[in-house]
Structure 1
């Protein structure tokens, strides 16, 4: 016999969908529901979520500022690996879910809740990310996914449920389904409506964080980023906390139209989906980090990182942040960053972020070695002859065999 649920912690945005879920949980399980709203720098006023939860009689409303933890403990470790999914996506939504799940579990443990609940749909990746994270952190906690359990199967039925239970429906939520938008300090993503047809051009009005590169300033802007052990620590010589640094670069990148991406991606659940992403600060940091690595990482170490990065990105995208294999790869990546310190100058211009200079006290770059002038370092040009001969030996054998 299934145990009775006495208390639930709900990941609550304060929007229409999670407000309906809140009421449905109370009605279905007849127990106390605690709401948890994560401030990840989504740029919205979060206090209204407290008032909305109070309307439903919620006595314990949690709104937690996670901006510094999000950037320091999730975004930056991912950045150390130069992580992109399917060659383009900087994983702005994917990397936020394990942090939210971590705090859902922590609150559940603190108050003795039996279950946590989320508002992710049954077709998306987020349901997997939330639930795999909970499984890894505390398998004794039950996960409730209303979109997979209730009998609401359409937006019309959703609005009817809201009307029946006197849940306020904003005027912009009536009629056609709105865009699905997710935002945090790293990115803004937009899905749905016209974007569901990959042949349609994304309308200009969906972009919220970046100007059209065509309309960006006609003069480039130079910004310097300081790194210590693989993590960015300063902008233009000014030391900043992780969240403040990303916020500053988001403003700079957005002004220059940097970080726009229109992508058709492969969901873990088994379907393709289209999203429009804006990741201005993250795009600058990715280019800058590769810039500082170019002079501080050994060739084999750099190439090994590039080989494992797609696997690491897939782990994050698919929801395995707390899995042992991701932690093993993170240890390898972090070891590679010991000497990745220095400063990179970036040119921001019309949608592009380009490295124009890089310096490091731990640089492996040797002007003597690469110079066409006489080198002070012992390098005999004749050594290259033997090196080439040995590497060509197998090619000669292969060519002789082919001619036979």
Structure 2
């Protein structure tokens, strides 16, 4: 009989290298290693050779950067998604894409299972497995860290390093790292290790070496830089007059934002599994894009549509964070978001300066702002009669007056 095939989400680090060999031994299976190129840069160097040496029967390293920017990052930014008021969801939005491609590879290769290296304490296990459930419920999901036998064999990193040495697995780790990192086109995240103490100052000068995508704001240029972003129906399509693909937009904005120390966030967030965790994020390009998009909406989006969409931001953000990207409720919300973006077209000018993104102008051929109506001078259009405000205020005050009278009578 042919051996079982398992598709493993593989990063080449200590955990997934050990897991690859462990899966092969434990399940007597062929392991197909899959790595998604979603903007990790040099982290991908040598991965195919390493996976094959570690025991993989086949390796996929797929460039998904265009799809990531176009079909995941941009729709999410149209929705104005911001988790708990700070987090631009860089890791969260990458997981459904990775899991989607894993499912596609599993079906193409005739695999019966997929596996990931996410721990049993984090959000990623949920994101991977909910995506698999939505797209390929017939596939088994192997989550090693939730297996008691695996945890007993590997209670800590020392045991994993010893296992790697025994099996000839080349790993860079020789001791516990001070923190863990996860990088993609949208951001880079840092957590665990020294960052588990929420009083630890990750912004201190002594910790500058931790950051990858941005300089410290105090080290950014003393001269501000202006940038213009052009939008069509809620998506950025050009920067400083140059047409770009979504991928090119993200790469360009990451470079600009990083240069000016933009997009650093240090927060304690609520994981879906119930605990709080501390994360430090660099999202330079995403921060610029988020700010520009919001300013474009301020000029072109109807007030009631904006308030309706904004009321759904916590819900939408929670769906992304918790792994429900392919759930019907997220798809339904996205349809509303797409409708809301039809007139979000025009140009935003921003000033970038030492960690700040400052609005410096906005214009649109479909602007809802009418200076003749908004002016404090005489209105040549006669579109607004100030006397009408008297009745407007009186009607809105009626319920307040009635409630006040009730309270006064009750106090007698």
TM-score in terms of structure 1 length = 0.97
Runs of 4+ aligned structure 1 residues displaced above 3 Å come to none
8 Å CA contact 2:157–2:175 kept in 1: the answer is no
Aligned to 2:369: 365
Aligned to 1:257: 261
Deviation, 1:5, is 7.1
Distance 1:294 1:22 in 2: 50
Distance 1:56 1:169 in 2: 11
Distance 1:134 1:144 in 2: 11
After superposition, give the CA deviation of every residue in 1:105-148 in whole Å (9 maximum; x if it has no partner). Answer: 00011111000111111111000000000000010001111122
Distance 2:3 2:311 in 1: 46
Distance 2:178 2:130 in 1: 28
Aligned to 1:142: 140
Deviation, 1:17, is 1.4
Q: Is the aligned partner of 1:211 residue 2:237?
A: no
Given candidates 314, 335, 342, the residue that maps to 1:338 is 342
After superposition, give the CA deviation of every residue in 1:299-344 in whole Å (9 maximum; x if it has no partner). Answer: 1111111110011000100010000001110000110001111100
Q: Is the aligned partner of 1:97 residue 2:98?
A: no
8 Å CA contact 1:125–1:268 kept in 2: the answer is yes
8 Å CA contact 2:3–2:30 kept in 1: the answer is no
Deviation, 1:175, is 2.0
SS where residue 8 of structure 1 aligns? strand
Distance 1:180 1:16 in 2: 12
Distance 2:311 2:405 in 1: 33
Deviation, 1:58, is 2.6
Distance 1:169 1:282 in 2: 32
Aligned to 1:379: 384
After superposition, give the CA deviation of every residue in 1:212-257 in whole Å (9 maximum; x if it has no partner). Answer: 1011111110000000110011100000111111000000000000
Deviation, 1:401, is 1.2
Distance 1:156 1:45 in 2: 23
Deviation, 1:178, is 4.0
Aligned to 1:197: 197
Pairwise CA RMSD of aligned residues?
Answer: 1.2
Q: Is the aligned partner of 1:278 residue 2:276?
A: no
Q: Is the aligned partner of 1:113 residue 2:111?
A: yes
Given candidates 20, 34, 46, the residue that maps to 1:22 is 20
Q: Is the aligned partner of 1:391 residue 2:396?
A: yes
Given candidates 262, 281, 290, the residue that maps to 2:294 is 290
Deviation, 1:83, is 0.7
SS where residue 10 of structure 1 aligns? strand
Distance 1:67 1:46 in 2: 13
Most deviating of 299-308 and 98-107? 299-308
Distance 1:57 1:155 in 2: 21
Q: Structure 1: which 5+ residue stretches go unaligned?
A: none
Deviation, 1:45, is 4.5
Distance 2:263 2:3 in 1: 44
After superposition, give the CA deviation of every residue in 1:69-95 in whole Å (9 maximum; x if it has no partner). Answer: 001000000000111100000000000
Distance 1:380 1:270 in 2: 54
Deviation, 1:166, is 1.8
Deviation, 1:179, is 1.6
Given candidates 148, 161, 165, the residue that maps to 2:167 is 165
Aligned to 1:154: 156
Q: Structure 2: which 5+ residue stretches go unaligned?
A: none
Distance 2:390 2:193 in 1: 62
Distance 1:107 1:399 in 2: 66
Deviation, 1:394, is 0.6
Deviation, 1:42, is 1.3
After superposition, give the CA deviation of every residue in 1:135-179 in whole Å (9 maximum; x if it has no partner). Answer: 000100011111222132211211121122121232xx1123342
